[in-house]
Structures are given as structure tokens and as C-alpha cells.
Amino acid sequence: MKKLLKYMKGYRAQCIMGPLFKALEAIFELCIPLVVKLIIDVGIGNADRAYILKMTGLMVLLGVVGLSSTLVAQYFAARAACGFSARLRSALFKHTSTLSYSELDSLGTHTLITRMTSDVNQVQSGVNMFLRLFSRSPFIVFGAMIMAFTIDAKVATVFAIVIAVLLVVVFGIMAITVPLHKKVQKQLEKTVLLTRENLAGVRVVRALSREGDEEETYGKFNGAMTRALNRVGKVSALMNPLTYAIINIAIIALINRGAVSVNEGLITQGEVVALYNYMSQILIELVKLANLIVTVTKALACASRIEATLETKSSLAYGTDKIASGDVEFKNVSCRYKNGGADAVSGITFYAKSGEVIGIIGGTGSGKSTVVNMIPRFYDASRGEITLGGKDIKEISQKELTDKIGVVPQKSVFFHGTIAENMRYGAPDASDADIEKALRTAQAYDFVSERGGTSAEVEAGGKNFSGGQKQRLCIARALVKKPSVLILDDSTSALDFATDANLRMAIRKLSPCPTLFIVSQRAASVMHADKIAVLERGGIVGLGTHKELLETCEVYREIYYSQFRKEKEAAQ
């Protein structure tokens, strides 16, 4: 938690003023039993109605001033807690954006979502409660004990004993609940993961009629989390009854000893009532303190998890070089995913000249996406070297890589807004003419015009567009950047053959023409490429033109003839 306190900078005044006004409220509250004592001993004892009214007015005034102090303290505490959580959430989001795909895969999307939502909210609640009560509750507890000793030291020994016992109970329960809260948060992550998977794959679940199985699985996870929460709840639930029981026993002892002292003339009836009020104040504050400890315990458990996420460093280190051209070369490159048992791809060697079209084809799981994902450094090569413009990509700056490489992933991703806003996502300064040119090249201009132009709304995830339309818009978004290298990772699968062909021809006519990597399982998409790399089981088994591969590569022949049966019959 200490490392997270730097996000509290700028709220130092609120952190001081909140507890200060709470302490001020506590002082006024501690004065009230003394006023009650005077009303009983002086006002009622002497039947002085004017004195009673005067002291009652003083008591009301103390209450009003205390309430005002509370409102001011609440305001400062809430402002500091909300500001702190906003900065923390922002820092967590920014840090997550710097991590490589390896770290993101290791942490998991469900974990990061839980950190930024549930965990940050718990920390915010903990900070808010701490600023409101950490000065008030101890001040009242120990202040009431001190005030009790000023009235009668012998009777007040009950206060010292009960406070010592209560501290043992409170901190003992806290020691048990801290690790249990951590287990609850881990179980919550698993439940969030399962929920996310089901929401993302709801169509698959329904198509395969697996609703019952998924409900059963979710029931198991939810049941495990419920049991974990029940364990924590049972231990935490002991706090209030134990506190009340100890305090009530103490009140009985206090009244017993007070009654004896009154009979002996050692103290007055008003002083006994004042002692009783102080004991009641201790009861109320210890209940609040118990709730504070439970909340702070949860906050500390969540803070340690957030801290661990912020301490996760990216495995990527960038240089300062710039890209001179779009030449791409792989030199005996291998890649192994984190915690992977074997290399995903190995021995990848080829050269792509600036402006060339490189087709990458192969079966599912052959490593096609892995190869192209290493160019923008989504994943780093385990062995070998990748050069871009003759320079090792590890020596090129991150900004240069992101500016000069356009990537269209397999899954089309859009953000809520207009088409123009989505088009400018990679190039904020792009003009309307640049966007129009990119849309025309991507074969998307016609349907965009039909929707009212680039000011048309895009729903979150692009749900108001078809699969083919989303793919063409994604390609246009990448083209707006005017990249030196353009990677189409199976991003034309939803296009018909004519649109696919027109798209490739339009990209070739660009000036300057980017080095184009086309990843596909369709032979028609890559057969006109300058070079085609055929992958199988993570290695290149064929490299050349379409004509050359038909003669020399059996894997390519199988893929091609499985999709063009007439050509197979003609060849036979």
C-alpha cells in the first residue's frame, strides 16, 4: 500500500483536514457527557430550571457544531478518496497499455478487469473510511477512558480492562480475515473469467446446446466463491456480538461499582451517568472501528494485488532508431510463448523487399499469426533476428514501429463513435481526403456513403456493420496511417473473391506501396503475391511464387487443389 500512496499527491490538504475535523467533532462529543453530568448534579439537584435550559442549549450547540464538523470531514475524505482512486485507475490502465502481449497473456484479461474495477473500488472505500474514522474512533475510545479517569480513577479501571480485551478481539479477528479476503478476491477473478468467456461465446454455447453444462460450471465457481465469502463473513460476524457482549458486561460492572461509590458518597449520580455515556460512546466507536478494520483489511488485500500488477514490468525494451525503408528480413527466427512447452515457430528465414507482397499460408495452428505478430513486436523472437529497413527491430523506437507498421488483426475491433473517429484512431491528424482515399482503397467507400458518410455512428464493437464491412473498415483504418509495412492477418476472410482481388490491386497501386503481408488460408488471396511462405508445424516448408510452389511444395499443392478442384482435374 505504501507504494500506492504517491497517487495521493495533490490531496495532502484533504488528507489533513478530513481527520482534523473528525477529531474536532470527537472533542465536542466527549464534552456532552460532562454537560449531562452538570444538568443532573446542578440543574436537577438544585431544581434550577434556568440552568437546565442553559446547559440543554449548550448541548444542542455542541451537537450542531459537531454535525457541521462531520459534514466538512466527509467532504474532504470523499474528495481525497475519489481523486486517489481516479489516479490509481488511470495509472493502472496506462501501465497495462505498456505491457507486451506476453505479460497480458500471463496476467489475463479477467485479472486486469478485476484490478481496475473491484479492487480499485475496495481501495477507494478503504481510504474513505480510514480518513473519516482513523482519528475519530481511537480519539473517542481513549478520550472517553481519560475522561472517565478524571471523574473517578477506581471506577474507570473497568474502561482500561475492557479496552485491552477489545483490542485483542479486534486485531485477532483482523489477523484471521486478511488472508481469507485475498482468497475471496482470487475466487472472484475466476468467476469473472468464466462470466467473460460465456458472454463472449454465448452464440457458440447456444449453437451447441451447452447452456446446462455452462450453468453447472458457473454454479460450481459461484458456489466456491459463496463458500469463501461465508467463511470470511462468519469470522467477521463475530466482531459485533463479541464487542457488544464485552461492552455490556463492562456496563454492568461499571453500574455496580458506580452504585456502591454513590452509596459511599465518593461520586455523584451525574458522574455515574457520565461514565455510562462514555462507555456507550466506546461501544459505538468500537463497532465503527470493527467495520473500519474489515473495510481496510479488504482494501489492503486489494492494494497488494494492484501493487503487484503495477510492478509487472514489460519484457520489451526499445531503441531510438528510425525506419529507413519497408524491407523486412527474418534470420533463423524462433518464437516460444511464455510458459510454452515448445517453440510456436522455429527456423523462419526469408526476405521481403520494400513494396513486395508476401503471402503466408498454412493450416490452422501452423504459426502464421505468430510470424507476423513478431514484426510489430507484439511478441519478441526467442532466437534469431528480425530486421526492418536493415535495422534490428529491437533497436527501433516504439513510436516509429507503431507509426510505420499497420496491422489488421483477425478480429475486427471498433470503438463507439463515428467512422471518422475510428479512422483517425491511428492517425489523429489525418485529413478528410486521407480518410476518403483509405476507404476507397479498402473498398469501403460505397457502403460508408450509403450510411451518410464518415459522420455515421459506430456502435461499440462495430455491431451495426456486417463482418465484411468491419474487415474493410479495419483495413482502411490501417491505411490512413500510410504505413511502410501493412499486415493483413486473415482479415479478408469475410470478403468475396472479387472484393478481395480489388482490394489487393488497389493496395498495389498506392504510392508509395507498403510491404504487404497477407496471412490467409485461402489460396486465392495469396496466389498473386511476389512470394508465398508455406508454413506447417511452425516451420517454412515452401517459399516462392505460386507457380514454383505448385511444382515443388506438396503442402501448398494440397491446399490449392482442395480449393480449386477444376485446376486439379485439369492438371491430372
pLDDT, position 1: 64
Which pLDDT score is estimated for 570?
56
* CA–CA dist 272, 261 (Å, integer): 9
Indicate which CATH number applies to the domain containing 176. Answer: 1.20.1560.10
Residue 206 burial class via C-beta count within 10 angstroms: exposed 0-12, middle 13-18, buried 19 and up: exposed
pLDDT tens by residue, 157-181 = 777 788 788 778 877 877 787 778 7
Lowest mean pLDDT among 32-46, 140-154, 447-461: 140-154
| End-to-end CA separation in angstroms for the chain | 73
Run of H or E including 148: helix 136-151
* pLDDT over threshold 80, residue 186: no
pLDDT surpassing 70 at residue 440: yes
Reduce the DSSP state of residue 540 to 3 states and report it. strand
Q: What is the CATH number of the domain that holds 521?
A: 3.40.50.300
C-alpha cell at 364: 490452422
DSSP result, 318-336: ---B------EEEEEEEE-
Does one domain contain both 296 and 334? no
In this structure, the answer to whether residues 304 and 333 fall within a common structural domain is no
| Domain span including residue 252 | 77-310
Burial class (CB in 10 A: 0-12, 13-18, 19+), 84: buried
Place 137 in a pLDDT band, splitting at 50, 70 and 90.
confident
| Least confidently predicted of 241-245, 391-395, 500-504 | 241-245
Say if residue 571's pLDDT is above 60. Answer: no
Nearest residue to 127 via CA among 177, 182, 194, 78: 78
Residues 264-300 pLDDT 10s: 777 788 888 888 888 778 777 777 777 777 788 778 8
| Judgement on whether residues 337 and 237 belong to the same structural domain of the protein | no
pLDDT for 569 beyond 70: no
Checking if the pLDDT of 566 tops 70, the result is no
Tell me the pLDDT tens digit for each residue of 4-51. 878 888 888 888 888 888 888 888 888 888 888 888 888 887 888 888
Q: Tell me how far apart the alpha carbons of residues 149 and 33 are, in angstroms, rounded to a whole number.
A: 14
Look at residue 360 and tell me whether its pLDDT is greater than 90: yes
CB 123, CB 131: distance < 8 Å: no
pLDDT for residue 517 is more than 90: yes
Task: Report pLDDT for 572.
Answer: 54
Peptide bond into 483 cis (omega under 30): no
pLDDT greater at residue 246 or residue 514? 514
Is residue 399 situated within a structural domain?
yes
Return the higher-pLDDT residue of 90 and 105. 90
Span 114-137, average pLDDT:
85
Radius of gyration from C-alpha coordinates of the chain: 35
Backbone dihedral angles phi then psi of residue 464, each to the nearest 5 degrees: -95, 20
Whether 287 and 340 share a structural domain? no
350 with 473, same domain: the answer is yes
Structural domain includes residue 410? yes
Mean pLDDT on 481-499:
87
Q: Which residue has the cell 460492572?
A: 253
Q: What is the pLDDT of residue 534?
A: 92
Question: How confident is the model over 377-387, as a mean pLDDT?
Answer: 89
Residue 263 has phi, psi (to 5 degrees) of -60, -35
Average pLDDT over residues 488-501: 86
Q: Do the domain assignments include residue 46? A: no
Look at residue 334 in the predicted model and tell me its pLDDT.
92
In terms of Cβ atoms closer than 10 Å to its own Cβ (0-12, 13-18, 19+), residue 250 is buried
Task: Kindly state the cell numbers that stand for 479.
Answer: 491505411
Helix axes 49-98, 120-133, angle to 10 degrees: 150
Averaged over 206-210, what is the pLDDT? 83
Give the separation between CA 429 and CA 426, rounded to whole angstroms: 9
Q: Is residue 477 situated within a structural domain?
A: yes
Cβ-based neighbours of 482, under 8 Å, separated by 6 or more: 427, 434
Q: Is the pLDDT of residue 533 over 90?
A: yes
323: left (phi over 0), alpha (psi -120 to 50) or beta: beta
Q: How far apart are CA 435 and CA 478, in angstroms?
A: 10
Reduce the DSSP state of residue 308 to 3 states and report it: helix
Domain end point (choices 310, 339, 358): 310
Q: Are residues 444 and 535 in the same domain?
A: yes
Same domain, 286 and 398: no
Asked whether residue 38 is domain-assigned, the answer is no
Q: Which of 298, 349, 284, 376 is nearest to 127 (CA)?
A: 298
Q: Is residue 473 part of a domain?
A: yes
pLDDT of residue 87 exceeding 80: yes
Task: Judge if 376 and 269 occupy the same domain.
Answer: no
| 306, 365: one domain | no
Is 319 inside a domain boundary?
Answer: no
How would DSSP label each residue in 29-68? HHHHHHHHHHIIIIIITTT-HHHHHHHHHHHHHHHHHHHH
For residue 195, what is its C-alpha cell? 462470466
| Residue 55 clears pLDDT 90, i.e. is over it | no
Cα 102 to Cα 336: distance, rounded to the nearest angstrom: 10
Q: What is the pLDDT of residue 149?
A: 79
- Mean pLDDT (the chain) is 85
pLDDT of res. 207: 83
Q: Residue 72: beta bridge partners?
A: none
C-alpha cell at 24: 474536532
Pick from 310, 345, 374: which residue ends a domain?
Answer: 310
Span 66-75, pLDDT tens digits: 889 889 988 9
User: Are the beta carbons of 288 and 139 closer than 8 angstroms?
Assistant: no
Helix (H) or strand (E) holding 127: helix 120-133
Distances (CA, A) of 331 to 107, 274, 388, 412: 31, 86, 12, 31
Q: Do 393 and 245 belong together in one domain?
A: no
Least confident of 102-106, 385-389, 542-546: 102-106
Evaluate whether 39 touches 60 at the Cβ level (below 8 Å): no
Range in 169-173, 440-444, 486-490 the model is least confident about: 169-173
Which residue among 310, 344, 368 closes a domain? 310
Q: Indicate whether 358 pLDDT > 90.
A: yes
> Tell me, what's the pLDDT at 361?
92
Q: Are residues 305 and 332 in the same domain?
A: no
Task: Tell me which amino acid residue 262 is.
Answer: V
Number of domains, the chain = 2
Indicate the angle between helix axes 239-263 and 269-310, nearest 10 degrees. 160
Q: What is the pLDDT of residue 568?
A: 55
> In sequence order, what are the residues at sequence separation of 6 or more whose Cβ sits closer than 8 angstroms to the Cβ of residue 498?
none
Q: What is the dihedral of CA 103, 105, 111, 112, to 10 degrees?
A: 60
Q: How many CB atoms lie within 10 A of CB 2?
A: 7
Residues 337 and 303 in one domain: no
